[in-house]
Structure 1
């Protein structure tokens, strides 16, 4: 197990309302390497042992936080791989040949994904060290091809699951979305695939209204009515599925949505091939959200300012909220 010095800044809310230390998951999509090459790098880095879950999925065991997953991010292929493992020789012949054909055709655009277990925040620096190893092995990110729609996704555990806390996270994100999008410089391929589509304007205006105070059921219902999709820069479906599975499944019957007590931030590109790139700048940008949530009065004032901006006749045309929102950011020395 690597021992990396922790020098990442931490959020003001370090523990959940149960007293447990908050954790974070990280997902890195990459190209340029075959599945087994990525598995070898991750297993060597953590000193873990490899378990095969199918032709397109591996787990690296031995980390006290839980298994690391390395997989080809293509649901149909993964399902065939599982069936092949379970059925043995029963899938020989045409189905296996068809699977290989689709895999070969998709290899140039389907990423390999490295998925961490829920990690203590103090281990975030290890992610950057792992990215450096993958880069040295030849991994490519979004910029490796005009069609690479690869992303880096972080999943911070929420400190509490009451409606007020979750509303504040959503409001803080919506108020800073334009700034975050500018910082992320989202690649054209990712924008065209709508993997990180912005929230509908009417929904944004509803949520940032200073009088918006739904209970948890109302918060979830409003979200589902406007966003019955995984393809949002901040995907709350996993969190809401964790909290109220029946309510979510009535609207979203997508097996790719799995329950977890985390926010799912999907906006940043994967730039694993760029020297010096890592999760740190993404995390530092995210901390602007964390600080707003921890300062309700400052957040409420920002919501009023953004609501007023959205009500202006020329907002978004000749007026720029990105510039205005910078006035609400913490300085790097304060986060």
Structure 2
């Protein structure tokens, strides 16, 4: 297993309530390399030439087995084409041959605009910096990110495991994110392509007003119901549906029928840009911004003060017209030593 001296800062809470090291999954989208080229690069970076078992679930998916954290997945991020790729092809049958031709044509089109995605297993926090080595190797091999072409709407996702899944812990993470979402969006500098393709809608301000109110202290069922009533969609920068499905799958599935929701005890943080081709870019910047959420969630007293400040801003129509919460948030975070 590879090692790296490139360290990332750690959040205040590094273990779960069960005493295990917290884990983070990473997903990154790119173009410029084929699935097999990307898989070979990931395998060589992580395992050396022959250490991983290479699996082919379909023609557009490769899994690398051998990491104690779990399988690494490299795939074309197109669900329909992946489903076709899991079917056996029989070129001797005329109908199957026609279907195969249609699949090949679809693949040629998809490879122009659909990204290859590298999906890590849930990595222990102490191993998270290893992903930076993969980004470095992808860049050196010619991978392109969001800015590589006007049609590329590529992104990256972080899936931090919750330190605990009691209702107060979840509420605190959600409130911390809601308070600084505007600031995070400005920090992310959303690429024009992502804006045109409607990257993750902001949380509705009516819901935000309810959820950050100092008096908001729901039980778990109310927390989930309030979220689902205002956000029955995966289309949020902080998608809570995987976590809520882990806690109460029936409640979530009753409201949101989406097969892409994967039940797991993690937050799903979507970042708008994959800048894999930009020299020097890696997880460090996005992760440092995410740590502001972690620090707030781990400090209920400071979080309560920020919620009160943001609530006052949201409930003051004149202030919202003349003020800029992103700037006020930046000043507040700096003053409270959170940056």
TM-score of the two chains, using structure 2 as the length reference: 0.94
Q: Which runs of 5+ in 1 are unaligned?
A: none
* Structure 1 SS opposite 2:100: helix
Aligned residues: 334
| Alignment partners' CA distance in 1, 2:85 and 2:278 | 32
Deviates more, 1:296-305 or 1:103-112: 103-112
- What is the DSSP-based 3-state SS (H/G/I as helix, E as strand, rest coil) of the residue aligned with 1:265? strand
What's the offset of the Cα at 1:195?
Answer: 3.3
Do residues 178 (structure 1) and 182 (structure 2) align? yes
Q: Does 1:132 align with 2:123?
A: no
Which residue in the other structure is 1:225 paired with? 229
Q: Deviations over 1:277-318 (max 9, x none)?
A: 001111111000111011101000100100100111134433
1:140-173 per-position Cα deviation (integer Å, ceiling 9, x unaligned): 0000011211111100000111111111111100
Residue 298 of structure 1 is matched in structure 2 by 302
SS in 1 for 2:134: helix
Preserved CA contact (<8 Å) 1:6 1:122: no
Cα deviation, residue 84, structure 1: 2.9
1:161 aligns with 2:165: yes
Instruction: Return the alpha-carbon distance in structure 2 between the equivalents of residues 88 and 226 of structure 1.
Output: 49
Match of 1:219, SS state, is helix
Q: Partner residue of 2:193?
A: 189
Correspondence 1:74-93 to 2 at 5 A: 74-84=78-88, 92-93=96-97
**Structure 1 stretches of 4+ moved >4 Å:** 87-91, 330-335
Match of 2:18 in 1: 18
2:212 to 204, 208, 214: 208
SS in 1 for 2:318: coil
Following superposition, the deviation at residue 222 of structure 1 comes to: 0.9
Structure 2: gaps spanning 5 or more residues: none
Which residue does 1:255 correspond to in 2?
259
**Deviation, structure 1 residue 175:** 0.6
Cα 1:76–1:257, aligned 2, differ >3 Å: closer, same or farther?
same
- The residue aligned with 1:50 is 54
Superposition CA RMSD, Å: 1.9
TM-score by length of structure 1 reads 0.95
Pairs within 5 Å for 1:83-122: 83-84=87-88, 92-122=96-126
Task: Pick the aligned partner of 1:264 from 268, 273, 290.
Answer: 268
- Aligned residue among 196, 202, 208 for 1:198: 202
Partner of 2:331: 327
Q: Which residue of 2 aligns with 1:282?
A: 286
Relative to structure 1, the CA distance from residue 74 to residue 178 in structure 2 (aligned partners, 3 Å threshold; closer, same or farther) is same
* Whole-angstrom distance in 2 between the partners of 1:88 and 1:144: 36
Deviation sequence 1:183-223 (CA, Å, 0-9, x none): 10011222222232111111111111111111111111111
| Contact 1:194/1:231, CA 8 A, preserved across alignment | no
**CA distance in 2: counterparts of 1:81 and 1:135, whole angstroms:** 27
Query: C-alpha distance in 1, partners of 2:306/2:91?
Result: 58
